[in-house]
Structure 1
Amino acid sequence: MKAELANTSLKTYTQDEAFNASLEYFKNDDLAARVWLNKYALKDSDGNLYELTPNDMHRRIAKEIARIEVKYAKPFSEDEIFNLIKDFKYIVPQGSPMAGIGNPYQIASLSNCFVIGNSGESDSYGGIMKIDQEQVQLMKRRGGVGHDLSHIRPKGSAVKNSALTSTGIVPFMERYSNSTREVAQDGRRGALMLSVSINHPDSEDFINAKLEQGKVTGANVSVRIDNDFMEAVKNGGDYIQKYPIFSDSPKVSKTIEATSLWKKIVHNAWKSAEPGILFWDTIINESVPDCYADLGYKTVSTNPCGEIPLCPYDSCRLLAINLFSYVENPFTAHAKFNFELFKKHVAAAQRIMDDIIDLELEKIDKILEKIDADPEMDEVKSIERNLWVNIQKKAKEGRRTGVGITGEGDMLAALGIRYGSEEGNAFSLEVHKTLAIAAYRASVHLAKERGAFGVFDAEREKNNPFINRLKEADSQLYYEMLEYGRRNIALLTIAPTGTTSLMTQTTSGIEPVFMPVYKRRRKVNPNDKDVRVDFVDEVGDSWEEYVVFHHRFKQWMEVNNIDTSKNYSQDELDGLIKKSPYYKATSNDVDWLSKVSMQGAIQKWVDHSISVTINLPSDVSEELVGELYLKAWEVGCKGVTVYRDGSRSGVLISNEEKKEAPAEETLTTFPTKRPQILEADVVRFQNNKEKWIAFIGLIDGKPYEIFTGLADDEDGILIPRWANNGLIIKNRNEDGTKRYDFQYKNKRGYKTTIEGLSHKFNPEYWNYAKLISSTLRHGMPIDKIVDLINSLQLDSESINTWKNGVGRALKRYVEDGTQAKGQHCDNCKSENLIYQEGCLTCKDCGSSKCG
């Protein structure tokens, strides 16, 4: 592969060339240009850029899809495909397909999400480890992963090993979470969904697992709730939990008060935004693939955002249709939605998605070739190889697709319809019903041309509620499906479109606009000519405030001849919003019960699920959260998540003033006396081509002390690369002086001790390490310690390198979501920076900086 790539004569571009060109493409939208360049522009591992603007990317994608098209009847041409996907106007492949189609520089999957797991065997340690390895192998190929933990026996169950009893679910949640945090995906972290059935005796422990800060930070968690539990909640009755779940002859059985556990779920969601809820009976009863459950298509969990319920080893690729682009004469009295063009493009999108499955099968062949060529022993590679063989089988046999939408909020505004109103909900329902019928008709026509999915059986599907709704809405479609079958086992979803909506420059997915207009700041030199200084910060830096309009709000202004270049006051902005179709239609304005009802109605026409979060102000009650959850179940939602402003510690909150907690409440409490033995992490990093190492002593997983320095110094410490943890032991020398030893186990389990960490590093490092350790032991928050380290004024170049190294090591322990105050994004200058995996990540543009 390397030799093949080395001989290519593709034109390359500098970062500046590509950024300036893409900035012009996005009409000076700095954020969209940065996101495209960082995430989706074609580049190799050396950083060479092969695409100048998204036009090049769209041509790359069109060329590959056209290559697949010629295998089938009546193929689309490359230009036809290009015109459908160019400018992010109509059809938008999302995430992995956008980055991976036609990309020869990555051996990666085109799938956005996977579910793994099996029934009985994974309850053993070997099965649990197998799932762990499969999760990591998928994440390194760029996929998000979900799996269910309901098969793990509850805490205290008898096991036939030295432990005698099971530890239950929670320790394995930590294992899978930690594995996610370890995997890098082209500069981003892996994504994981963990679920468990409410019927499991450990479900309350699962529900509580994330309440403790720093626990299970690498996973989203959702609880699978069945109808019997919900009925018991409504009626104040009891509920029986079992293991195995729903067994007629369980090994463990206990009766609980349903409302008590329900209140715990509601309280935790109100307090920390988790767990999410999956209404499992609704998912299974409505699922078309579950008509083939006995053939391996039994749904067991969902992808990380919950919009794709999947069976083990199935996968899905995502594509969004930009609803805003089907509004003719937007923001005028003559605005209308072009349903005929929409139906035509839905059919094209479904066809393109089926082509992408063929491209994915080719990618899996490449992955299998890579695995076979790797030098490891076959027994080492067997789990990874079998994993991809299983995924390939499901993708080829079921041919599942994930056609969705974006821009719903802007579509309604462009039509002059208020999001969340009865009229808005009714129109959205009509659009999604149209989409479902058009996509299923396209899949039937594809089956006629290309053949039905491998296990299609109309008899199996005859009682499925979703299929019967299609039959009632369009009997001709139904009878054609009986005759020709269907190309794809399931077709539709509504995913969070995230960065996709930044490039379509629309609202995200099914959501309303977050804010139609807001203000940002940029640093300025007060001595420059014609500069305006609106704000001077505490260190004396000058800032100019400027208005940022949501793109379609700005389009509304232009249509109505309102000046978009003026620097409006806040009162003037409020007045503009009041005149606009976005008035009382933002995420904070929309009636929450109305939004849940809208989701339930639309869900009837989405065969997978809908990813949606109900954003609530900070002062809502727990009772309201419970009411929303109950309403979601009653109206037929498959899942629901709430986020109350400020509920998750460290997550960015709104600009409204809030009373700060006393400073001492933010401090970590440690023992007053240093324990003799501490668990320890070993952190390796590189600065200026030098290898560094840090030993970080931990109490309850939180840093308590640190020893760090050069790993390859003449007097430095050399330990095996695989030794990532151990113990720091406080000892005494023969003369009575203190020393700190590090002990780790070698691969045979024998203990190896390195004596005197304090004497292995340069004394100057040791003195500063004592200073940092002292602040750690007094419970100062890690992000504040990192700021302290960065502020040290040191003359020695080597000590400055040490400063960078120890700061980088400690950043790993900053709680994800912690806001970084007083810093600004290098890309978009936003102050909305948080720590994620020890890296500063911009919440506005998604750029990340480590080190």
Structure 2
Amino acid sequence: MAEAEVNLKTTGLNKKTYSYDQAYQEALKYFQGDELAARVWVNKYALKDSEGNLYELTPDDMHHRLAKEIARIEKKYPNPMSEEEIYDLLKGFKYIVPQGGPMAGIGNDYQIASLSNCFVIGNEGPSDSYGGIMKIDQEQVQLMKRRGGVGHDLSYIRPKGSPVKNSALTSTGLVPFMERFSNSTREVAQDGRRGALMLSVSIKHPDSEKFIDAKLEQGKVTGANVSVKIDDEFMNAVVNGTDYQQQYPIDSSNPKMTKTINARELWNKIVHNAWKSAEPGILFWDTIIRESVPDCYADLGYRTVSTNPCGEIPLCPYDSCRLLAINLYSYVKNPFTDKAAFDFDLFKQHAAYAQRIMDDIIDLELEKIDAIIGKINADPEDEEIKRVEKNLWLNIRKKAVEGRRTGIGITGEGDMLAALNLRYGSDIAIDFAVEVHKTLALAAYNSSVNLAKERGPFPIYNSEKEKNNPFILRLAEADPEMYKRMRKYGRRNIALLTIAPTGTTSLMTQTTSGIEPVFLPVYKRRRKVNPNDPDVRVDFVDEVGDSWEEYIVFHHKFVNWMQANNIETTKKYTQEEIDKLIEKSPYYKATSNDVDWLSKVRMQGKIQKWVDHSISVTINLPSSVSEELVGKLYVEAWKSGCKGVTVYRDGSRAGVLLNNKDKKNEETTSKFPKKRPEVLVADVVRFQNNKEKWIAFVGLIDGKPYEIFTGLADDEDGILLPKSVQKGFIIKSRESDGSSRYDFQYVNKRGYKTTIEGLSYKFNKEYWNYAKLISGVLRHGMPIEDVLHLVQGLQLDNENINNWKNGVERALKKYVPNGTAVKKGHCDNCGSDELIYQEGCLICKSCGSSKCG
């Protein structure tokens, strides 16, 4: 789209729009040639309307937009910061960086969306009626459509087999509702970003084992992260080898159901599943509740029930949080030299400003919520249809007004330590990091007290309720004068601090992400190329025939280290020379795969003492580690005071590339038997082909697709199959002339076997040939993600979404690990091979696309 004049209905002004290429080229200059940072900014954060028209040319335009809006709020209060002062803190992503929703949404009048990054929902009191569960489902969808991540707890749902007063007679338990909430998440996608969901359950719940196992079945609960809330009683039972009592309701003094279990057996299952698939995550719930400042107000509706999808914000029902990161690297003076020092004075000053800006963002969020409620009121739908959505936002507004919760975090910690010549994970580095986070906590809380004096405290502040809280007592000991003033004036915000994932944020700050060490200081990246273009070098051709060029990428701050040490940065280095360079640098033995695992857990626990919410961090392990080690790390995390922990073993989750060195001996051949078994377990998948009803049979070996057959359903010439049939068997037999025949067999409601003979006779010949092609590549071991690429490329009827090709895609997608079309070498957004698992998220290092879970 060329530069144009577009009428702004929201302001009545005329404003220029820019083409994607114009914005990208200018952003590329801004980020000094960093293609990834430029694309991330244009795709995610440049001001745009719902039709994709771009109104900003560079990130500098965005920073002026943010500064203008924040300054507008500042003018409501005494001693306002000026727009220029705010801009100086934001510009260049150098010091203060609003994350996600605030960066994209502040000053954007084109789209009606919340500024909150994450929400937790839940019913007031136990309500596991179908009505209560459906309300949660609708609230989840309503939040996700406005791009919010959502968490909710399932501990209120009665266990499987419990009596119910309806025609079912007994409860189905947790797992079917996990699948429901997961499916709702997968249905909500905006601009290619799927919804993000966290489902949690208490270890005390009698169905917790079923919850833990739910994701082991391929294709199940693919739209959610899952975490288990573990209490101290259970951990002590694990350590001491004693029994543990589960019950329902979990908090009842007179439970309706109890169940005594062997704690270690269930613990071993949790550890095994996490070792195998990186889930479930663990939330040390007693630590969370004990340390939680908002839980001092549990009687007023602030009882924490779950966390957001990445686990860094434990929340009560209908509370939400906005995020902001401080770039720690920018406070290192003379980085990578023997004169390197951290500027604590400037850091404290900026931390106070950051808290002030976050409080302003709450006022901006309240304006956004009012706009959402206004839109709901103006919608022509029946009031009954709008009731749940409207009440949802009214509840969220109430919590935002009462608590004014903020989420100040950091990014660039790994680079900060390296710039100070400290090796990440060493004792001295851990001690220094703790001092930085303690400084941040005290500066932010001091600022919140000052804001309370100027603007008033959060409405439900009560110093007596908080006086025994461990976190508050820690602050009081470290800064008695601040605590004295807080008791006098109150505090502006109920809770202030977090360490959230900063995947796309760190791409624009060009630093390491969040609290994490550097992933790799030097790595390879691939870009897709046209092999017919002149001067193109093809280094790799993938399974579907796409050509790729490989090139070396240096981590930005590694280049800064080279420059500080007068090392040539434009030379084309060999791998051996690169290895020697890394050995000389402060990044040596300090990458995410190098750092001592126990040291990282202890570092997290020590820093957690100065973070009132929680920390999103991943312990990366090589594929060879034992389940026993994973268990030891979990126990150490509990003892160290961590609120939660995520362990990722290399290769345990599909789609993650954790090693950039060539794997010349990597096995790519299929594990399928050379000869087709006579009987295969099969799934039944139904779909629409235009206006016709079709059916697919997917033959499986070890849960993986081996072949697929499709045909018309509910037609006299098609396949008549009861809708209740979801599984069966594909049986291969021989005709009298020696040809093969495929039959489908299932067990009917009466327990009798029923056979549909000659599946191939009932298929449209064209589609039968395509099905044979797809079955052939499946049998020869083509990864399922590449089979999907193959199906997507078939030149068939694409006019209608309900066509054969899309139906087959839907039938096969359920077998993609974790429900995504991503594998090593294939980001589903750009096709790159640079995917890593960090801070609970899949992050593409080539295009910046991120998926939590």
State how far apart, in whole Å, the 1-side matches of 2:668 and 2:828 are.
27
After TM superposition, the structure 1 = structure 2 runs for residues 513-592 of structure 1, keeping only pairs within 5 Å, are 513-522=518-527, 545-592=550-597
Match of 2:750 in 1: none
What is the CA–CA distance in structure 2 between the aligned matches of 1:483 and 1:264, rounded to whole Å? 50
CA 526–798 in structure 1, closer or farther in 2 if over 3 Å, else same: closer
Which one of the candidate residues 153, 156, 159 is aligned to 1:154? 159
C-alpha distance in 2, partners of 1:377/1:164?
Answer: 34
Deviation sequence 1:454-503 (CA, Å, 0-9, x none): 10000010000000011100000000001000000000000011100000
- The offset of 1:531, in angstroms, is 7.1
Partner of 1:753: none
Partner of 1:831: 833
2:215 matches 1:210: yes
User: Counterparts of 1:43 and 1:390 in 2: how far apart (Å)?
Assistant: 29
For 1:377 and 1:798, locate their aligned partners in 2 and report how far apart those are by CA, in whole Å.
33
Specify every segment of 5 or more residues in structure 2 that has no aligned partner in the other structure, as ranges.
Answer: 1-5, 713-717, 729-740, 744-758
* Amino acid in structure 2 at the alignment position of 1:467: I
Quick one: distance in 1 between partners of 2:502 and 2:689? 36
Aligned to 2:306: 301
The answer on whether the counterparts of 1:692 and 1:708 sit within 8 Å (CA) in structure 2 is no
Instruction: Describe how 1:26-425 pairs up with structure 2 within 5 A.
Output: 26-118=31-123, 120-425=125-430
SS in 2 for 1:321: strand
Structure 2 SS opposite 1:255: strand
* 1:444 alignment counterpart: 449
Aligned-residue offset at 1:77:
1.1
Deviations 1:297-318 (A, max 9, x none): 0000000000000000000000
Which residue pairs with 1:627 in the alignment?
Answer: 632
Distance 1:250 1:351, change over 3 A: same
User: For 2:348 and 2:846, how far apart are their aligned partners in 1?
Assistant: 34
Distance change (3 Å), C-alpha of 1:681 and 1:134: farther
For residues 245-288 of structure 1, the C-alpha deviation after alignment (integer angstroms, 9 at most, x for no partner) is: 13211111111111111111111111111111111110001000
Q: How far is the alpha carbon of 1:631 from its aligned partner? A: 0.5
> Cα distance 1:531–1:171, how it changes in 2: closer, same or farther (>3 A)?
closer
- 8 Å Cα contact 1:790-1:807 kept in structure 2: no
Contact 1:515 1:550 in 2 (8 A): yes
- The residue aligned with 2:787 is 785
Q: Distance in 1 between matches of 2:340 and 2:764?
A: 72
Q: 1:679 and 1:431 mapped to 2: Cα distance? A: 56
* Whole-Å separation in 1 of the counterparts to 2:279 and 2:244: 22
How far off its partner does 1:727 sit?
7.8
| Separation in structure 1 between the aligned mates of residue 289 and residue 447 of structure 2, nearest angstrom | 25
| CA distance in structure 1 between the aligned counterparts of 2:300 and 2:798, rounded to whole angstroms | 65
After TM superposition, the structure 1 stretch with the greater mean CA deviation from structure 2, 660-669 or 242-251, is: 660-669
Deviations 1:704-760 (A, max 9, x none): 757699xxxxxxx9xxxxxxx998999xxxxxxx9x9xxxxxxxxxxxxxxxx9999
Q: 2:617 corresponds to which residue?
A: 612
CA distance in 1, matches of 2:314, 2:606: 18
Where does the alignment leave 5 or more consecutive residues of structure 1 unmatched?
A: 686-690, 710-716, 718-724, 731-737, 741-756
Tell me if structure 1 keeps the 8 A contact 2:215–2:221: yes
Deviations 1:822-844 (A, max 9, x none): 768996x7334799xxxx99553
Q: Does 1:504 align with 2:506?
A: no
In structure 1, what is the Cα distance between the partners aligned to 2:428 and 2:652?
A: 32
Which position in structure 2 is the counterpart of 1:734? none
**Counterpart position of 2:846:** 844
2: distance between equivalents of 1:347 and 1:841?
31
- The yes-or-no answer on 1:663 pairing with 2:665 is no
1:546 Cα offset (Å) = 2.7
Distance (whole Å) between structure 2 residues aligned to residue 81 and residue 666 of structure 1:
65
Q: CA deviation at 1:233?
A: 1.0
When residues 848 and 798 of structure 1 are mapped into structure 2, their CA distance, relative to the original with a 3 A threshold, is: farther
Conserved 8 A contact 1:494-1:610? yes
Question: How far apart are residue 681 of structure 1 and its match?
Answer: 3.9
Q: Structure 1 residue 42: deviation in Å?
A: 1.0
Aligned-pair Cα RMSD in Å: 3.8
SS at structure 1 position matched to 2:227: strand
Identity of aligned residues (%): 70
Is residue 432 of structure 1 aligned with residue 437 of structure 2?
Answer: yes
CA displacement 1:332-365 (0-9 Å, x = unmatched)? 1111111111011001000000000001101010
Q: 1:595 to 1:445 in 2, by over 3 A?
A: same
Q: Is the 8 A contact 1:114 1:315 kept in 2?
A: yes
Give the Cα–Cα distance (whole angstroms) in 2 for the partners of residues 365 and 468 of structure 1.
Answer: 37
Q: What SS does structure 2 have at the residue aligned with 1:439? A: helix
- Please state how far the C-alpha of 1:654 moved relative to its aligned partner: 3.0
User: Counterparts of 2:131 and 2:263 in 1: how far apart (Å)?
Assistant: 34
Contact 2:797 2:803 in 1 (8 A): no
SS in 2 for 1:122: coil
CA contact (8 A) 1:63 1:78 kept: yes
- Matched residues in 2 for 1:209 and 1:728: separation? 18
Once residues 798 and 191 of structure 1 are traced to their aligned partners in structure 2, the CA distance between those partners, rounded to angstroms, is: 30
Given that 1:645 and 1:653 are in contact with CA atoms closer than 8 Å, whether structure 2 keeps it comes out as: yes
Letter in 2 for 1:399: R
- Between the aligned partners of 1:548 and 1:534, the Cα distance in structure 2 is 15
Please say if residues 366 and 400 of structure 2, whose CA atoms lie closer than 8 Å, have aligned partners that are also in contact: yes
CA distance, structure 1, for counterparts of residue 849 and residue 809 of structure 2: 18
**In the alignment, which residue of structure 2 is the partner of 1:722?**
none
Amino acid in structure 2 at the alignment position of 1:785? V
Q: Which deviates further from its counterpart, 618-627 or 664-673?
A: 664-673
| CA distance in structure 1 between the aligned counterparts of 2:675 and 2:374, rounded to whole angstroms | 50
> CA distance change for structure 1 residues 580 and 664 in 2, over 3 Å: closer, same or farther?
closer
Counterpart of 2:637, as a letter, is A
Greater relative contact order: 1 or 2 (C-alpha under 8 angstroms, separation 6 or more)?
2
**What amino acid is aligned across from residue 229 of structure 2 in structure 1?**
R
Offset from partner CA, 1:494-543 (integer Å, 9 cap, x none): 00111000000000000000000112345678998887776788999986
What is aligned with 1:645? 650
SS of 1:389's equivalent? helix
What secondary structure sits across from 2:380 in the alignment? coil
Change (3 A) 1:833 1:630: closer
Normalised by the length of structure 2, the TM-score is 0.86
Deviation at 1:785, TM superposition (A): 3.4
Contact 1:343 1:438 in 2 (8 A): yes
Matched-pair contact (CA < 8 Å) for 1:697–1:728: no
The TM-score, its normalising length taken from structure 1, stands at: 0.86
| 2:825/2:832 contact within 8 Å kept | no
8 A contact 1:679–1:699 mirrored in 2: no
Instruction: Find the aligned partners of 2:264 and 2:827 in 1 and give their Cα distance.
Output: 46
Identify if the C-alpha distance between structure 1 residues 759 and 613 changes in structure 2 by more than 3 Å, giving closer, same or farther. same
CA contact (8 A) 2:689 2:803 kept: no
Matches within 5 A, 1:686-697: 696=696
